[in-house]
Structures are given as C-alpha cells and as structure tokens.
C-alpha cells in the first residue's frame, strides 16, 4: 500500500474506487502487522472504526460528504473519547472511560472521519521522547532503536509508518513539532486558542494546544479546517474567525520575508541538521522569498520559564487524580491520606511526579514571586521578542530540534539534556504563536524538521508556505522501510 | 483587665443564580445526590469551566450596595488543597483582584448611634461538595450537587467591637442581599454562612491580639452566642497570663462552646495562582453604571423614605425596612387604610406578636396585608374601636373571614346613634344619682378623673360597642346638667 494524501483518498472514495471499509481494513491490517514493533497505539478501536467506515460509505453513497469522510485517523490518547478508554499513557487512568467526547475528536467525527484508535504518548504529555509511557516506549519507524520524539510520539510514528492517514496531537512545549521532525512528517501547532481544549486532558492549560499531524501541509489544512474555531465550552478558545486553510495554499511565495534568528543556529545544533535547514532556506529563496537575519534575544530564558510555568499549572491540573472518583486507587488504603499518597505515588510515573513536585514548590508560599511571577515576566519578554520580530518578517524559520532522533534510553538519565531538546520549540508556546514542522531532509539517515513560526492566527500563511515548499520538494513523501513484522 | 474585642467577619452568601458558577448544572437545594452535576462539577479530566455572567452581575450589585469600588478587571485564582468533596483538587476563587474592592456599611444601632463597618472586599468563588459520613458503614459518601455553586465571600474590616455589632452587621448584610434578590438568605440551608475572626486587646492598645477564627456559624443567634463564649474563653486565658493560639475553631451550639479544629501549623499552603482556564473578567463603566441604575431600593434608602413620607420614627422605619417582605407588607397595609402611623403600630405590634407566637415569617402570615389594611379602615371610620379590632384580628388569624364579615357576624359594630346613646347615658345618670352629685360638686381636675367611672358604665351597658368619640361630649353635657 502506498501512502496517499487526504485529497487523493477523498477523491478515490468519492469515485467509489475504494470504500471506506476497505481502506479502514487495510489500515487495521497494517496496524496488526507493524505496531507490535512500533507500539504507536495504546488502543485500536477496530469495531468502532469499521462501524464508522460503514456509516461513511453510506454518506458517500448519498453524496453527503466532507473531505475527511471515510478517512482513517488516530487520536492522541489524551483526547476524551466517549465510551473509549482514554489513558494519557498513565497507570493513573489505565481504566478511565470518559462519558463524553472532546471537541477536537467530535469535530473530526462529525466530518465523517474514521477513528482507528488512540495513540501512545508521554504520560500526561510530559516528555520529549515518548519513553515516559505506562504502556512502553514508542519506536521511531525510521530506526527502531531510536525515539520518535514526544510527547505526541505515537501519533507521529503512526503517521510516518502509514498506520493512519493523519492524527491529532497536542503541543505544550513542542509535543507536535518535535516528534513530527523526528519522524519526518508535517505537524502544526496552532495559535493558542485557535482549537478548543475542551475534553483534552490538561497538562499546562495556558500552553496546551491541539493540532494536526499528517504527511503534508495540505493534509494538515484539511484537519485544521475541521477542528479550528470557537467553542463555548472553552473560555480560552478564540472567537477570531477561522480562515479557509485550503484556499490559501496555492499563493506563490514571491516577496515572502523569512526571519532567521541567530539564536537558533548557535552551539549545540547538530551539523547535519544545520545543513538541511540551510538547504531548505535556499529552496525558499528559489521560490521567491527573501531572508532577513533577526534576533530573539530571550530564547535561552524560555527553558527556565517553561519549566516553572508548565509544572506549576500541571501540579494543579493533576490534583484531580486523587483516587476518589475515577482512575487508579491503591489497594486497601488505611485512611484518606494513605489513599491519596499511595494512589498518586503508584499511579503517576517518575517524570510526572517530578513535574508535580517542581510545580508545587514553585507555587509555594515564599517562592511564588521568585519562580512563578518571574517566569511570567520572562514569558512576556519572549512574547515581545516574537511580536517585534514579526513586524519585520512574515515568518520565522529555524530547526525544530537541535538534533535528529536520538537513541532509546540515551537521555533518560540526563534530564537537562532531555529538556534542552525543546530549546527551539518552548518559546513558541510561551508566546502563543502558531508554528509548524515540515520534513526538509535527512542527517545521519534520520529526518530533519524545519520549523516555520508565524504571527497570531496566521495558520493559513504557515500552511501556504509549507505547501509551496512541498510542491517543490518530495521530502514529505519519503517513507521508512518497515520490515515484515516490524 | 478591661479587654476590647476586635471582630472581623467573613460571610459566604450563596448567590441565587439558576445555574452554577462554572457549569450549566442547576443550583436547586435538596436534589438526589450527584444529580445536579455536569462534567465540570465532577472534575472530569478535560472538563473546563465557563463563567456564569449572572454571578458577576449579582456581585456588582452587591458592590454598589456597600459603597464599594468595583473591580474592572477581576481574576479567578486556584486555591489548591486535597479533599474528597473538592473534585478538582482546587477551589476556583479570587485572590489578588476581587470583583468587589473596599467599601463600607453604616449600621443604625438600637441606641440611636450609627456604626460604620468597613468592607475589605467581596469575591466570587465556587462551593465544594459535601462529604456524608453517616449511612455508609465506615465509608464516606460524596455528594457533588453543591460543587461549583456560586458564593460571594464578603470580608469585613476588623471594625466590629461587640457581639451586638456583629449581629447588627450580619443582619444588615442579610437584609441587603435579600433586598437585592441575589441570595435567599436561608441560613438553615446554608445559603448564608459566617466565619468570625476574633481577638482581644487591652483597652487603649493599638495593635491587635492573636486571633482565632470560628468557622461556619449559621444563625444570628449562634453568631452572638459563639462570640460571647469565645470572648470569655480568650479573656480567661489572657487573665491567667496565657497566650491565644492562632487557630480555627468550631462553635458547638449544644454545649455552647467553641473548640479547636486545626491550628496554624496544620494550615494548608494553598498555592494560589491565576486560573489558566479562565480569562480575566474585564468589565466597562457602562456595564457598572447600568447595574447601578437598575438597583432596587436598599434597606437604608427605604428607611429614610419611610421616615420622610410616613413621618415614622427612625426606629420604626428601621424595623419596618429590615426585610423587603416586611417593608412590602407594611406599605400595602398603609396604602389600604391610608394611615401609616396606625399601620406601623399594628404591623410591629399585634401582627408581629401573632407571628412570633406561631414562629412564622411575615411572608407566611395567614392575614394578608390587604386584609389587615381593611381591618384598620374600620377603626379609622369608627365602625369598631381599637380594642375590638384586636379580637377581630385574632378571628381573622384563625380563619373566620374578613374584617367586615367578622364584625358583622359577631355584631361588633359601634353604636354611634346619638339618640340611643343619649338615652343610655340618661339611664346611667338616673341610676347613679349619688355619684352624679359628687361629680357636680367637684372641681375641674377631680371631674376629669371621675368621668372614667361613667365611661366604664356606658361601655358596660353597650357591651363595648358605644363609640367613645360620640359618648364623651354627650356624657359631659348631661353630667354638667
């Protein structure tokens, strides 16, 4: 089976060259064949998928379709799905079946798409390697000894390995872009507030944002069209009107001003990654863009700022997992305190516990001003950096991550090295602007992602820029060779 | 030692919104456990709060009523602590930027003085659920119906100096929130709860002593009693040279004592921070002004109007305006009988006596305001006298009919026919010749005293129905011969 775009598949479905049931069965078979080695899914919802595919075929018969009708997709396992296990890759929620549907998955469902299952991730979206999962690490389809990135590693690996056409992810500090980069796919983190967070299990509420992960910018545009827009269930969801994300894709890039921040090309950047990024920028120049050197002086401060704000919010967001109403509860609690302590100590993994403790400490009396408030002040500086830079240029480009995918276990004992993985992505979340990762080549046989950052609500512009590049190149069409049974 | 008591109060008033502060669930009292809940109130993963703007409107109304600054930008914050009936592990409240800022209340006291109590702030917050420890065989039941119910926490300055002032302040707040219609004021159901912060200091000392906080006192009477016994407890400790421990205490009305709940050492660090799921609440002057313009008449304004328009004393006006129901009742009576002073006397006197005896609120009075007004009309037009009216009211209370029906059925109409009265008086003069002689021999002062005897005879003969206004001139004329 060759990989095909949503546009192509949609056309084939409309022409009755293939039915959604046939397509869905193909994908379910591929998952059976390959996911034992990849571990990209936590739950495969075969029955639901086939039922939805049958329904989609009926809609297609009636001619009552959207571009996503009948297209098999997968959801990161932190979107609540009504009646379907939703674990956040945590023992804490190993048995949690939500009684409701998240806005993102509901909108994709309403567009007629087929849900193949729920993808693996770092527990509660905390991690950059997908090694922090109660259900085991996800492997990179390009090299099974390497990580797929995180936290949306399952979604990225599944798309890269063609175990779904497209997937949803979430991005709090790079969790869509970095795994997209590591797995050679296209991912978009929209502007904060562009997509509803309702039904998305929160990690850090002021940073979390859901977005599409797919093979191409065009496929991402189809998904974004379905999920973007106001939702009265999420007070932080924006009322700014959505755009037609597909209509703008064909705009030529003549006169596009690209900012290259010098801070993104400094120490620690793998040479092969730098070369791939430089080549991509040259390609954009060929397409009519001009390059401007810019500076985002507070980039270095994004790591300490993020690692105070995100854990602070997480420490509060994860308080509801107390063993009282749902999820994991320890055996034979002695009393209330024992129940709280053991349920949470046994239910949460190490990284989650670490971040809860860091956040609890940062918010404590006597430390709040020095940590939380200071981090918020830095956040404003970082935001101003972007606002100022985006007055001079239309988009900002740089690497997504300093390296290509690293080996499984290579950084698990070095948290600082792991946190540095996110140096180029965190600031985007702190500022709230949208950003993409698109594949632009390989370094040491592993994919390299280019990051494209834009102004608030400029998703259409980002998708346009990415699409024009993908029309001129074929990096996004490269697929890993999966061995039989791997 | 002569101690001065320093009291500050925190009052939680449950706002009468139809739905909860952050969800669309109903706020009605007494539903089956966990039925008035949505995903938000249950603290489901992924559920997000949506602010109920009706609560905002009510909070701004209150702010105006206590002469307070309105927070043009207020911010919800999370107060983090673990408790089984706190489903999210935090309470959404307001910390640094409350919706209502500094204000004050002027409270008329019984002795005619006016006590000013500062309002520090009032902020919106959500209530927790309830833990039920009985009926679960050693387990605890959790009812989340109350979870996310809107509360307005009203914090006073430590300006209160006695139990009496505290009760007067709470009554005033109660009266304001019920007047505004933003809280039903039902203390028994917990719609209004009070925390008392209390300390003592030697009279004349500036700095405050160590305070204790008495939690959740839920009636006017208990507030007074709790304060009195906490004053005594603290005074005893201080007199013995001891030190007050800063702690949270509970008042036990059965034993009439306060006891320790937790000390400062066990206190939580609530780790307040702005709630990232809710945007700051930003309002404009137009919104604030529109609410101000729509405010109903407040108790103090009503009392002033009663004094002015009805010529009532400050005290009467205060009593009659204390609750909206009482004020409305009074005004209906006055409008029906067209005599405010008589109406005030009857509402505060006979009617209140009957209500108190039956432990009824004025809203449950079996005699409607119009019915009472019609009775008073019959005094005004001399159909009956005041004394008879009391027995008619009792009969109305007992459901025997309207004033006119009872007067007619019992034949209570006063005799005003001058001819008949003259005949009756002549008969009495004839039958009491000796007393008439004495009267005629007496001087002016003595006569005034003696006329009471003849009046008594007339009333006795007429079975109380003779109209004293008609009797007096005839009696005087005939006695003077």
Q: What pLDDT shows up at residue B14?
A: 97
pLDDT-based confidence at residue B314 (cuts at 50, 70, 90): confident
Tokens of B14: 């449950």
Helix (H, G, I), strand (E, B) or coil at A310: helix
Any domain includes A155: yes
Q: What pLDDT shows up at residue B452?
A: 85
pLDDT tens digits for B387-420? Answer: 889 999 999 999 999 999 999 888 888 777 788 8
Q: What pLDDT shows up at residue A485?
A: 45
Q: Is residue A1 pLDDT above 70, yes or no?
A: no
User: Active-site residue numbers of A?
Assistant: 76, 151, 175
Between B456 and A244, residue with greater pLDDT: A244
Q: What pLDDT shows up at residue B422?
A: 85
Q: What pLDDT shows up at residue A186?
A: 98
- Does the beta carbon of B49 lie under 8 angstroms from any beta carbon of chain A? yes
**Where in the sequence is the domain holding A229, given as residue range(s)?**
6-253+469-477
* Residue A314 · residue A320 · CB < 8 Å: no
- Does the beta carbon of B42 lie under 8 angstroms from any beta carbon of chain A? yes
- Does the beta carbon of B132 lie under 8 angstroms from any beta carbon of chain A? no
pLDDT-based confidence at residue B470 (cuts at 50, 70, 90): confident
Interface touch B80/A364, C-beta < 8 Å: no
Any domain includes A218: yes
Nearest to A316 among B39, B50, B90 (CB): B90
Interface touch A93/B45, C-beta < 8 Å: yes
Average pLDDT over residues B49-59: 97
The rounded distance, in Å, linking the Cα atoms of B116 and B125 is 26
Helix (H, G, I), strand (E, B) or coil at A412: coil
Best mutation site among B42, B45, B76 for testing chain A: the one with the most A CBs within 10 Å?
A: B45
Average pLDDT over residues A418-440: 94
Average pLDDT over residues B245-257: 92
Average pLDDT over residues B203-218: 93
Strands A257-261 and A290-294, how do they pair? parallel
Average pLDDT over residues B186-208: 94
Average pLDDT over residues B441-458: 85
Interface touch B279/A336, C-beta < 8 Å: no
Structural domain total, chain A: 1
Average pLDDT over residues A232-237: 98
pLDDT > 70 in chain A, percent: 99
Closest among B126, B99, B90, B98 to B15, alpha carbons compared: B126
Q: Is residue A86 pLDDT above 90, yes or no?
A: yes
Nearest to B87 among A232, A312, A320 (CB): A320
Rounded to the nearest angstrom, the minimum Cα separation between A424 and chain B is 24
**Could you check whether the bond before residue A211 is cis, i.e. omega within 30 degrees of 0?**
no
Considering only A203-212, A219-228, B121-130, B448-457, which range has the smallest mean pLDDT? B448-457
Helix (H, G, I), strand (E, B) or coil at A479: coil
Residues in B touching A319 (Cβ below 8 Å): 80, 82, 88-90
Length of chain A: 486
pLDDT tens digits for A386-412? Answer: 999 999 999 999 999 999 999 999 988
Best mutation site among A320, A321, A366 for testing chain B: the one with the most B CBs within 10 Å?
A: A320
The rounded distance, in Å, linking the Cα atoms of A304 and A306 is 6
Closest among B116, B143, B148 to B132, alpha carbons compared: B143
Rounded to the nearest angstrom, the minimum Cα separation between A56 and chain B is 28
Strands B76-80 and B273-274, how do they pair? antiparallel
Interface touch B269/A202, C-beta < 8 Å: no
The rounded distance, in Å, linking the Cα atoms of B35 and B183 is 22
CATH number for position A68: 3.90.1300.10
Q: What pLDDT shows up at residue B445?
A: 84
Any domain includes A398: no
Any domain includes A235: yes
Q: Is residue A2 pLDDT above 80, yes or no?
A: no
The rounded distance, in Å, linking the Cα atoms of A160 and A437 is 14
* Residue A151 · residue A104 · CB < 8 Å: no
pLDDT tens digits for A93-110? Answer: 999 999 999 999 999 999
Going along chain B from its start, the domains and CATH numbers come out as: 3-290 (no CATH), 297-409 (no CATH), 418-480 (1.10.10.410)
pLDDT tens digits for A139-149? Answer: 999 999 999 99
∠ Cα A19 A21 A24 (to 5°) = 110
pLDDT tens digits for B108-121? Answer: 887 888 999 999 99
pLDDT tens digits for A352-383? Answer: 999 999 999 999 999 999 999 999 999 999 99
* Residue A176 · residue A459 · CB < 8 Å: no
pLDDT tens digits for B132-167? Answer: 887 788 788 999 999 999 999 999 999 999 999 999
Q: What pLDDT shows up at residue B475?
A: 86
Best mutation site among A75, A104, A322 for testing chain B: the one with the most B CBs within 10 Å?
A: A322
Q: Which residues contact B47 (CB under 8 A, 6 or more apart)?
A: A198, A199, B38, B39, B40
Interface touch B89/A336, C-beta < 8 Å: no
Q: What pLDDT shows up at residue B265?
A: 66
The rounded distance, in Å, linking the Cα atoms of A39 and A304 is 32
- C-alpha pair distances (Å), B150 with each of B184, B219, B291, B362, B430: 13, 20, 19, 28, 78
Average pLDDT, chain B: 92
Q: Is residue A302 pLDDT above 80, yes or no?
A: yes
Interface touch B45/A96, C-beta < 8 Å: yes
pLDDT-based confidence at residue A204 (cuts at 50, 70, 90): very high
HSE at residue A384, side-chain half, CA atoms within 13 A, is: 8
Burial readout B43-57 (b: 16 or more C-beta within 10 A, e: otherwise): bbbbbbbbbbebbbb
Nearest to A372 among B44, B90, B273 (CB): B273
- C-alpha pair distances (Å), A299 with each of A173, A371, A401, B136: 13, 18, 14, 56
Q: What pLDDT shows up at residue A469?
A: 98
Average pLDDT over residues B419-430: 86
Q: How far apart are the first and last CA of chain B?
A: 73
Any domain includes A159: yes
Average pLDDT, chain A: 96
Any domain includes A179: yes
Best mutation site among A123, A316, A318, A432 for testing chain B: the one with the most B CBs within 10 Å?
A: A316
- Does the beta carbon of B29 lie under 8 angstroms from any beta carbon of chain A? no
For A236, list phi and psi in degrees, rounded to 5.
-95, 5
Q: Is residue B382 pLDDT above 50, yes or no?
A: yes
- Does the beta carbon of B279 lie under 8 angstroms from any beta carbon of chain A? yes
Q: Is residue A484 pLDDT above 60, yes or no?
A: no
Nearest to A197 among B39, B48, B87 (CB): B48
∠ Cα A258 A260 A261 (to 5°) = 140
pLDDT > 90 in chain B, percent: 70
Average pLDDT over residues B194-212: 95
Place of tokens 């005799």: B415
Rounded to the nearest angstrom, the minimum Cα separation between A349 and chain B is 18
- C-alpha pair distances (Å), A388 with each of A283, A295, A394, A454, B343: 26, 10, 11, 12, 73
Residues in B touching A315 (Cβ below 8 Å): 80, 271
Quick one: B255 exposed, middle or buried, by C-beta within 10 A (0-12, 13-18, 19+)?
exposed
pLDDT-based confidence at residue B351 (cuts at 50, 70, 90): very high
Closest among A265, A306, A269, A305 to A173, alpha carbons compared: A306
Q: Which residues contact A117 (CB under 8 A, 6 or more apart)?
A: A31, A41, A42, A43, A44, A45, A46, A49, A74, A75
Strands B212-217 and B192-202, how do they pair? antiparallel
Q: Which residues contact B232 (CB under 8 A, 6 or more apart)?
A: none
Any domain includes A187: yes
Any domain includes A51: yes
Q: What pLDDT shows up at residue B441?
A: 86
Tokens of B406: 């009872």
């Amino acid at each position: 089976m060759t990989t095909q775009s949503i546009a192509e598949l949609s056309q084939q479905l409309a022409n009755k060259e293939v039915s959604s049931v046939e397509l869905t069965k193909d994908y379910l078979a591929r998952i059976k064949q390959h996911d034992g080695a990849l571990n990209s899914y936590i739950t495969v919802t075969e029955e639901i998928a086939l039922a939805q595919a049958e329904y989609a075929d009926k809609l297609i018969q009636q001619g009552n379709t959207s571009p996503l009708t009948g297209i098999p997709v997968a959801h990161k396992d932190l979107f609540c799905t009504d009646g379907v296990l939703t674990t956040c890759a945590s023992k804490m929620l190993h048995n949690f079946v939500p009684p409701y549907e998240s806005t993102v998955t509901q909108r994709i469902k309403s567009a007629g798409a087929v849900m193949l299952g729920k993808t693996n991730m770092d527990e509660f979206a905390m991690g950059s390697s997908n090694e922090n999962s109660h259900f085991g690490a996800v492997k990179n389809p390009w090299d099974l000894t390497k990580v797929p990135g995180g936290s949306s590693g399952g979604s990225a690996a599944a798309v890269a390995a063609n175990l779904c056409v497209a997937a949803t992810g979430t991005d709090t500090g790079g969790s869509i872009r970095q795994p997209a980069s590591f797995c050679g796919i296209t991912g978009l983190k929209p502007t904060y507030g562009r997509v509803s967070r309702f039904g998305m299990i929160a990690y850090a509420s002021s940073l979390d944002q859901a977005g599409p992960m797919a093979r191409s910018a065009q496929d991402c545009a189809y998904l974004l069209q379905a999920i973007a827009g106001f939702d009265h269930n999420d007070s932080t969801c924006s009322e700014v009107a959505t755009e037609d994300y597909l209509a703008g894709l064909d705009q030529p890039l003549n006169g596009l001003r690209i900012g290259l921040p010098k801070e993104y090309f400094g120490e620690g950047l793998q040479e092969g990654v730098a070369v791939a990024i430089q080549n991509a920028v040259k390609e954009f120049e060929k397409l009519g863009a001009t390059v401007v050197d810019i500076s985002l002086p507070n980039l270095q401060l994004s790591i300490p700022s993020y690692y105070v704000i995100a854990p602070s919010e997480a420490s509060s967001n994860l308080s509801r997992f107390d063993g009282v109403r749902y999820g994991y509860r320890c055996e034979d609690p002695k009393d209330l305190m024992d129940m709280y302590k053991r349920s949470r100590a046994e239910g949460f993994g190490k990284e989650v516990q670490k971040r809860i403790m860091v956040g609890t400490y940062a918010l404590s009396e006597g430390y709040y001003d020095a940590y939380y408030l200071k981090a918020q002040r830095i956040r404003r500086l970082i935001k101003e950096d972007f606002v100022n830079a985006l007055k001079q240029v239309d988009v900002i480009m740089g690497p997504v991550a300093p390296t290509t995918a690293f080996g499984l276990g290579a950084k698990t004992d070095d948290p600082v090295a792991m946190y540095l993985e996110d140096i180029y992505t965190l600031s985007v979340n702190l500022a709230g602007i949208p950003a993409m990762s698109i594949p632009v080549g390989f370094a040491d046989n592993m994919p390299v992602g280019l990051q494209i950052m834009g102004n608030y609500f400029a998703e259409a512009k980002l998708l346009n820029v990415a699409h024009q590049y993908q029309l001129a190149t074929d990096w996004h069409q490269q697929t890993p060779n999966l061995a039989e049974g791997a | 030692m002569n101690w001065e008591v320093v009291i500050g109060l925190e009052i939680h008033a449950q706002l009468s919104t139809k739905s909860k502060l952050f969800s669309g669930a109903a706020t009605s009292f007494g539903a089956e456990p966990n039925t008035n809940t949505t995903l938000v109130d249950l603290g489901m993963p992924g559920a997000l709060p949506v602010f109920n703007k009706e609560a905002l409107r009510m909070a701004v109304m209150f702010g105006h009523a206590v002469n307070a600054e309105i927070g043009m930008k207020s911010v919800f914050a999370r107060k983090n602590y673990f408790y089984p009936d706190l489903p999210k592990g935090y309470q959404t409240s307001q910390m640094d930027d409350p919706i209502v800022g500094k204000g004050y209340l002027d409270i008329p006291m019984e002795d005619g003085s006016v006590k000013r109590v500062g309002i520090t702030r009032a902020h919106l917050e959500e209530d927790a659920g309830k833990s039920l420890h009985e009926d679960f065989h050693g387990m605890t039941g959790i009812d989340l119906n109350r979870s996310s119910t809107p509360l307005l926490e009203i914090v006073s300055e430590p300006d209160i100096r006695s139990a009496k002032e505290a009760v007067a302040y709470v009554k005033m707040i109660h009266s304001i929130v019920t007047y505004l219609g933003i809280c039903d004021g039902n203390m028994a159901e917990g719609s209004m709860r009070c925390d008392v912060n209390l300390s003592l200091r030697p009279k004349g000392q500036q700095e405050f002593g160590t305070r204790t906080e008495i939690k959740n006192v839920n009636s006017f009477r208990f507030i007074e009693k709790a304060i009195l016994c906490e004053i005594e407890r603290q005074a005893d400790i201080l007199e013995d040279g001891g030190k007050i421990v800063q702690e949270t205490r509970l008042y036990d009305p059965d034993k009439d004592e306060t006891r320790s709940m937790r000390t400062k050492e066990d206190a939580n660090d609530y780790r307040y921070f702005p709630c990232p799921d809710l945007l700051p609440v930003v309002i404009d002057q137009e919104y604030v002004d529109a609410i101000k313009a729509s405010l109903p008449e407040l108790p103090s304004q009503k009392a002033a109007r009663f004094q002015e328009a009805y010529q009532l004393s400050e005290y009467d006006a205060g009593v009659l305006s204390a609750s909206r129901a009482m004020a409305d009742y009074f005004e209906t009576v006055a409008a029906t009988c067209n005599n405010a002073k008589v109406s005030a006397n009857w509402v505060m006197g006979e009617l209140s006596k009957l209500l108190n005896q039956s432990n009824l609120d004025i809203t449950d009075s079996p005699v409607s305001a119009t019915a009472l007004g019609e009775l008073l009309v019959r005094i005004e037009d001399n159909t009956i006298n005041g004394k008879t009216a009391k027995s008619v009211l009792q009969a109305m209370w007992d459901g025997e009919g309207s004033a006119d029906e009872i007067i007619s059925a019992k034949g209570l109409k006063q005799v005003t026919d001058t001819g008949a009265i003259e005949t009756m008086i002549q008969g009495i003069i004839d039958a009491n010749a000796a007393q008439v002689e004495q009267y005629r021999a007496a001087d002016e002062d003595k006569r005034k005293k003696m006329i009471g005897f003849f009046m008594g005879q007339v009333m006795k003969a007429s079975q109380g129905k003779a109209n004293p206004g008609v009797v007096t001139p005839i009696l005087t004329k005939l006695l003077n011969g």
